[in-house]
Amino acid sequence: MCFQNLPIEFDEQGRPRLKSGVRDPYAYRRVSLAEQEEKLRELMVRAGYIRSLDFDPVTRVAGALAFHCVVDTKERKVLSANSMATFFRGYEVILRGRDPRDAIFISSRACGVCGGVHATCSVEAIEMAFGIKPPPLGIVLRNLMLALEFLYDHPLHLFLLAGPDYSQALVEPTNPTVWARAKEREAPRSAAFGFKTIGDIMTAMNPLTGSLYLEALEITRIAREGYVLLGGKYPHPETVVPGGVSTFVSFQLFNELYPIIVKLADYAKKAIAIWDDLTEFFYEVNPLYRKVGARPKNLIDSGIWDDPEAYDADYAHCAQWGERRWATPGVIVDGKQVTTNLQLLNIGLEEFVEHSYYEEWGSQRFPTDPLGAPLSPFHPWNKLTKPKPSPQSWKEKYSWATSPRWDRKVMEACCVARMWNTAAAQKLPSRRFIEPTGESLRILLPKGEHPEMVVEWRIPEEWNAFERNRGRAYCIAYTAAVALDNWVMGLEFLKQGKTKVSTPFTIPTDRKVRLGVGFWGAGRGYLTHHLVAERGLISNYQIITPSTWCASPRDPFGQPGPYEEAVMNTPILEEAEKPEDLTGIDILRAIRSFDPCMPCTTHIFLDGTGLVITREVNTCACGLED
Amino acid sequence: MTMATSSPVRERLEELKTIAGLTGIPEPPIKEVHVFWLAGMSCDGCTIAVTGATAPSIEELLTGAIPGLPRVILHHPVIAVEAGEDFVAWYYKAWRGELGAPYVVVLEGSVPDESRAQRTGGYWAALGVEGADPWMAQPVSVNEWLRRLAPGAAAMIAIGTCATWGGVPAAAGNITGSMSLMDFLGPNYKSALGLPVINIPGCSPVGDNFTETVAAILLYLVGLGPAPEFDELGRPKWLFSETVHRHCVLAGYYEEGTFAEAFGERRCLVKVGCWGPVVQCNIVSRGAIRGKGGCMKVGGVCIGCTMPGFPDKFAPFYKTPPGATFSSLFSKAVGFLMRKLRRISMSERNWTPLWDRKGAVPTPWGKPSRKSWFHRLVDSFYRWWQYRGSVRLDKWQTYEEKEREMEVIWMGR
């Protein structure tokens, strides 16, 4: 039984239904934040060693971000942190009332970092709503394109955004003893990358001058070169259409892609060795690093990369085609996988706006999904985006981000959740390069500059900043393997003469109400678009992105969002003579490990003062309520 | 680099240059230029596009690796090492005129109407906070930064369609009141160097279009390059004066009147929603990244993302533009005849003169179709026209025949 909090039970055939005899089944009691706030305010006034640590803006995240936290400098603990998104462009509002086809290009522009994920997700929502099934080659090309996008995205994060936090330029001034050890410590996997010591790796990670930094920048270009062969341009592609793709196919396309994919698969071997060595070194220097960015193992993933033989865009079969994806969808609660069924994933969703700048919509149009399973009034198909900029109050509303929850639990989205769910479920059909074992994922990487090898990512014992980063390095290998698999499969379809890449479609203008949902993935994990279409236009459009999950403010039950929680669990390990010299590197590592795509903004601020301490700024978009 | 700047080596280098009379690339009069990157209602796609540029690349600009160009010091939240106050401090220096070097402001994303947000006590986008008392500090909106930095800037550059024209955040039904940088600064704005807002549109733009424009301005400033020209909307003229259709690899299909009816058919795409014939853009000739990609080159329709009318004047997407419906009628009629005739001359040119004489093609690959009387008629007329007024190269069957005729000419008979 996967639901503990929602009023859902299963009948004899295993179909979900509302628990009988519950009056007002989705009602809840709101937890007040006032008392907490009062306590912290008093504490700050009384104790001088309790101080605030400000970052405005947090740099090196996609978009910008600022936060403030309250730190106990004696105990070296973070007492309080809140996450706050302060950026709203109203994409969901703009989409309402437009032609459904506009959703592809408009929603794509929600995020310029993870290019094409929104376009593809919206296409899958449209395909479901209007019953358009793409031909196999169209699906394979989509998979290839979105694999190449992650092969740009993961190296970008690991070496350009998060990487500098582990470079000599930042480690030496913030943790001189760690740097001293690093210079002495031989790198165990030296053979894979050629640096002798951990210190050498750190020096190579220096921004703009380090060879690993510059190599990663170049790798992101190579991956994007592959991407634009399929999508035309990056970040916003031009070839993702309902019913497949509009890409011209010839052997030339496959030939040009091949060396690119092989090069990226080869690069994965190096990236993994580096992040394995770095992670183990930090654990060795101080076991407390295992607590940086730590939070419970609650992860959700929508799955990605459809099986060309299985995907039919039909909600009635989403449990089946979902489980045949290269990334198995699923939900992990306390380290245990509770479902891999896309329908259950969908009906467990709720989005709360208690602490967000929106009005409640107050109505429930769809009590059930198209298969008759119960839907919450807070489900995205029922939710309407009603923005209401209002004064900030920590007790009331403080963020443009909403609080998505699954079974009313706080979930984290991450590319590692893809591997985790796939590894644990063991539902992946037999594939050429990837094997899930239940505890791990084995990935075969072909020979390139480096010899052929099998890398194995194991489900981590702890879940923290280092495992997020290390996992992301393994995701490069995983994604390259998916790309290779789809490349081989694409050629197979060419051999069989199955060269169609799209299915023609029309947009009906009748009054029938059609529901669609795109379950796809972004560079950072989970992504869904919920579409309601009628009379040839969009009557409702709802986007939940990975950073919506991670940057979420507190929910009505008082549970903090993942960034907030991870920062509060982070010990301050930085070496500083005086408390005012703290740069907050540990907190920054915790936040950056999530790969925040805060084109939206998150503000982590003092919980409980009722006053704005800092907030921020900016820019991209994919994180929030766009 | 260290060697060239240490003085004895430097002196020796200068001496050698003088002796040899070598001038090389002159040292730039300005050693450094600061670039302040601000983001309004944006998706960060322009930043990402710029990291893909290679002509020149961002790392070349930032490390001063290009002779003659000043080093660019970029203040950008996505690549900065510093965070928080240390990062924002540079913005204050620029505002107070304490940089000691010129600065350029780049805006990505459209400018929201903050007065709408203020009505309910909020704001749309901000950078940094101000206020002596940290408890009462207030965020500084991006609009406020634009107001502070615009008067002293050497140039204000809008990158991407949101900043140049308004873009998607300004589409019908937007509640943020988003507008372009030009709309925000007004028609009378000129930078410290006397430049109106420079616009590099595209959603997302081609990264090289941005770095090339920056390089063009810098090369002009150091006296190496011509004055960069901008059109009536402040776009670099050499990049945006042509329609994307003129350089489109599929434009030949339009000429012959053959159009894709379904996605993935390699023909002209206007029937499936391409607006290329009326859109000013260079993506198919330049490529999206390092020459690769470019919308129509790979099968994507042009949705006009570089144009001020984007998105609403190009929506609904994937519907045939009315212009294409009418003009394609003409190209269909003319193209039908042209295609027929071209097929004849092309097949004729697939035969070597030797095969012509032998009347067969020596390969088992395929059997060239027999020439019909119509084909032969067209071809003989074609050859007559081709060689009219010049030497007819197919009239000699052998070496001897040609030599005989040449002998006559040689002897002046």
**What percent of chain A has pLDDT above 70?**
92
Q: Distance between CA atoms of A405 and A99, rounded to whole angstroms?
A: 30
Residue B410 exposed, middle or buried by CB count within 10 Å (0-12, 13-18, 19+): exposed
**What percent of chain A has pLDDT above 90?**
74
pLDDT for res B123: 62
Instruction: Spell out the residues 6+ positions from residue A343 whose beta carbon is closer than 8 angstroms to its own.
Output: A16, A315, A318, A319, A369, A371, A373
pLDDT for res B161: 97
A610 pLDDT band, cuts 50/70/90, is very low
pLDDT in tens, A509-536: 999 999 999 999 999 999 999 999 999 9
Q: Distance between CA atoms of B311 and B299, rounded to whole angstroms?
A: 20
Q: Distance between CA atoms of A3 and A23, rounded to whole angstroms?
A: 18
pLDDT in tens, B263-298: 999 999 999 999 999 999 999 999 999 999 999 999
Does residue A53 have a pLDDT over 60? Answer: yes
Residues in A 49-68 with any Cβ partner in B closer than 8 A:
52, 54-64, 66
Does residue A342 have a pLDDT over 50? Answer: yes
Cα of first residue to Cα of last residue in chain A, in angstroms, is 33
A623 pLDDT band, cuts 50/70/90, is very low
pLDDT for res B4: 47
The token duo for A191 is: 């053979």
Give the DSSP letter string of A345-368: HHHTEEEE-TTBTB------S-SB
Top-ranked range on mean pLDDT: pick from A480-484, A586-590, B35-39, B116-120: A480-484
* Mean pLDDT in residue range B312-324: 92
* Mean pLDDT in residue range B391-403: 86
pLDDT in tens, B129-141: 666 554 455 667 7
Does residue B208 have a pLDDT over 90? Answer: yes
Query: Among B51, B81, B301, whose Cβ lies nearest the Cβ of A207?
Result: B81
User: Do the Cβ atoms of B126 and A86 come within 8 Å?
Assistant: yes
Q: Are A138 and A243 in contact (CB under 8 A)?
A: yes
- DSSP-derived 3-state class of residue A156: helix
Nearest chain B alpha carbon to A398: B122
Distance, C-alpha B265 to centroid of its chain: 25
Q: Are strands A50-72 and A603-604 parallel, antiparallel or unpaired?
A: parallel
Contacts of A244 in chain B (CB under 8 A): 263-264
pLDDT for res B366: 80
Does residue A606 have a pLDDT over 60? Answer: no
Note the pTM of the prediction, 2 decimals.
0.92
User: Do the Cβ atoms of A52 and B134 come within 8 Å?
Assistant: yes
Does residue A626 have a pLDDT over 70? Answer: no
Distances (CA, A) of A239 to A217, A225, A234, A351, A364: 25, 15, 11, 31, 36
pLDDT for res A607: 28
pLDDT for res A624: 33
pLDDT in tens, A253-268: 999 999 999 999 999 9
Does residue A617 have a pLDDT over 50? Answer: no
Query: Among B79, B264, B297, whose Cβ lies nearest the Cβ of A246?
Result: B264
Top-ranked range on mean pLDDT: pick from A358-372, A486-500, B106-120: A486-500
* Mean pLDDT in residue range B251-266: 95
Higher-confidence residue of A587 and A114: namely: A587
Does residue A272 have a pLDDT over 50? Answer: yes
Does residue A618 have a pLDDT over 70? Answer: no
pLDDT for res B328: 87
Helix (H), strand (E) at residue A532: strand A525-534
Instruction: Spell out the residues 6+ positions from residue A295 whose beta carbon is closer than 8 angstroms to its own.
Output: A412, A463, A464, A562, A565, A566, A569
Label residue A611 left, alpha or beta by phi (over 0 means left) and psi (-120 to 50 means alpha).
Answer: beta
Query: Among A102, A388, A621, whose Cβ lies nearest the Cβ of B316?
Result: A102
Q: Distance between CA atoms of A546 and A519, rounded to whole angstroms?
A: 12
Q: Are A82 and A394 in contact (CB under 8 A)?
A: yes
Q: Are A533 and A102 in contact (CB under 8 A)?
A: no
A228 touches chain B (CB under 8 A): yes
Q: Distance between CA atoms of B320 and B297, rounded to whole angstroms?
A: 19
Q: Are A574 and A582 in contact (CB under 8 A)?
A: yes
Nearest chain A alpha carbon to B87: A57
pLDDT for res A64: 56
> How many residues belong to chain A?
626
> How many residues belong to chain B?
413
Of A57-61, A124-128, A235-239, A560-564, the one with minimum mean pLDDT is: A57-61
Q: Distance between CA atoms of B84 and A131, rounded to whole angstroms?
A: 49
Of A99-113, A300-314, A595-609, B183-197, the one with minimum mean pLDDT is: A595-609
What average pLDDT does the structure give for chain B?
88
Of A471-480, A541-550, A610-619, B258-267, the one with minimum mean pLDDT is: A610-619
Does residue B395 have a pLDDT over 90? Answer: no
- DSSP-derived 3-state class of residue A66: strand
What average pLDDT does the structure give for chain A?
90
Contacts of A243 in chain B (CB under 8 A): 263
Q: Are A265 and A449 in contact (CB under 8 A)?
A: no
Query: Among A90, A236, A390, whose Cβ lies nearest the Cβ of B120?
Result: A390
Query: Among B62, B204, B298, whose Cβ lies nearest the Cβ of A236?
Result: B204
* Mean pLDDT in residue range A591-603: 64
Taking the CA of residue A600 and the nearest CA in chain B, the distance in Å comes to 8
User: What secondary structure letter does DSSP report for A427?
Assistant: -
Instruction: Spell out the residues 6+ positions from residue A299 whose beta carbon is closer than 8 angstroms to its own.
Output: A331, A332, A411, A412, A413, A414, A416, A417, A420, A421, A525
Does residue A615 have a pLDDT over 50? Answer: no
Closest CA to B268 of B282, B256, B253: B253
Distance, C-alpha A233 to centroid of its chain: 23
Q: Distance between CA atoms of B382 and B345, rounded to whole angstroms?
A: 8
User: Do the Cβ atoms of A113 and B46 come within 8 Å?
Assistant: no
Cis peptide, bond prior to residue B311, ω within 30 of zero:
yes
Taking the CA of residue B338 and the nearest CA in chain A, the distance in Å comes to 25
Of A226-240, A281-295, A421-435, B217-231, the one with minimum mean pLDDT is: B217-231
- Under 8 Å CB pairs connecting chains A and B tally to 316
Query: Among B54, B292, B315, whose Cβ lies nearest the Cβ of A98?
Result: B315
- DSSP-derived 3-state class of residue A317: helix
pLDDT for res B3: 44
Instruction: Spell out the residues 6+ positions from residue A242 whose beta carbon is closer than 8 angstroms to its own.
Output: A101, A104, A123, A126, A127, A130, A132, A505
Contacts of A52 in chain B (CB under 8 A): 134
User: Do the Cβ atoms of B288 and A90 come within 8 Å?
Assistant: no
A239 touches chain B (CB under 8 A): yes
Produce one character per residue of A538-576: b if its CB has 16 or more CB atoms within 10 Å, e if not: bbbbbbbbbbbbbbbbbbbbebbbbbbbbbbbbbbbbeb
User: Do the Cβ atoms of B78 and A357 come within 8 Å?
Assistant: no
pLDDT in tens, A162-188: 999 999 999 999 999 999 999 999 999
Helix (H), strand (E) at residue A179: helix A176-184
pLDDT for res B229: 96
Does residue B358 have a pLDDT over 70? Answer: yes
pLDDT for res A73: 83
A114 touches chain B (CB under 8 A): no
Taking the CA of residue A202 and the nearest CA in chain B, the distance in Å comes to 15
Of A81-85, B184-188, B323-327, the one with minimum mean pLDDT is: A81-85
Q: Are A268 and A476 in contact (CB under 8 A)?
A: yes
Q: Distance between CA atoms of A317 and A325, rounded to whole angstroms?
A: 13
A140 touches chain B (CB under 8 A): no
pLDDT for res A609: 29
B234 pLDDT band, cuts 50/70/90, is very high
pLDDT for res B54: 95
User: What secondary structure letter does DSSP report for A514?
Assistant: E
Q: Distance between CA atoms of A327 and A428, rounded to whole angstroms?
A: 8
Higher-confidence residue of A1 and A25: namely: A25
A151 touches chain B (CB under 8 A): no
Does residue B79 have a pLDDT over 90? Answer: no
pLDDT for res A363: 84
Does residue B310 have a pLDDT over 60? Answer: yes
Q: Distance between CA atoms of A371 and A360, rounded to whole angstroms?
A: 26
User: What secondary structure letter does DSSP report for A260?
Assistant: H
- DSSP-derived 3-state class of residue A48: coil
Instruction: Spell out the residues 6+ positions from residue B409 whose beta carbon is closer than 8 angstroms to its own.
Output: none
pLDDT for res A392: 65
Q: Distance between CA atoms of A529 and A517, rounded to whole angstroms?
A: 6
User: Do the Cβ atoms of A56 and B204 come within 8 Å?
Assistant: no
Q: Are B51 and A220 in contact (CB under 8 A)?
A: yes
- DSSP-derived 3-state class of residue A204: helix
User: Do the Cβ atoms of A228 and B204 come within 8 Å?
Assistant: no
Higher-confidence residue of B368 and B244: namely: B244
Taking the CA of residue A359 and the nearest CA in chain B, the distance in Å comes to 14
Top-ranked range on mean pLDDT: pick from A20-24, A304-308, B376-380: A304-308
Query: Among B46, B137, B295, whose Cβ lies nearest the Cβ of A613?
Result: B137
Of A290-304, A411-425, B54-68, the one with minimum mean pLDDT is: B54-68
Q: Distance between CA atoms of B206 and B323, rounded to whole angstroms?
A: 26
Closest CA to A123 of A415, A531, A413: A531
Higher-confidence residue of A599 and A186: namely: A186
Higher-confidence residue of A362 and A95: namely: A95
Cα of first residue to Cα of last residue in chain B, in angstroms, is 74
Nearest chain B alpha carbon to A138: B264
* Mean pLDDT in residue range B212-220: 92
* Mean pLDDT in residue range B54-72: 91
* Three-point CA angle A221, B243, B241, nearest 5°: 90
Higher-confidence residue of A133 and B373: namely: A133
Beta carbons within 10 angstroms of residue A48's beta carbon: 10
Beta carbons within 10 angstroms of residue B148's beta carbon: 16
A208 touches chain B (CB under 8 A): yes
Give the DSSP letter string of A442-497: EEEE--SSSPPEEEEEEPPSS-SHHHHHHHHHHHHHHHHHHHHHHHHHHHHHHHTT
Contacts of A227 in chain B (CB under 8 A): 293
A89 touches chain B (CB under 8 A): yes
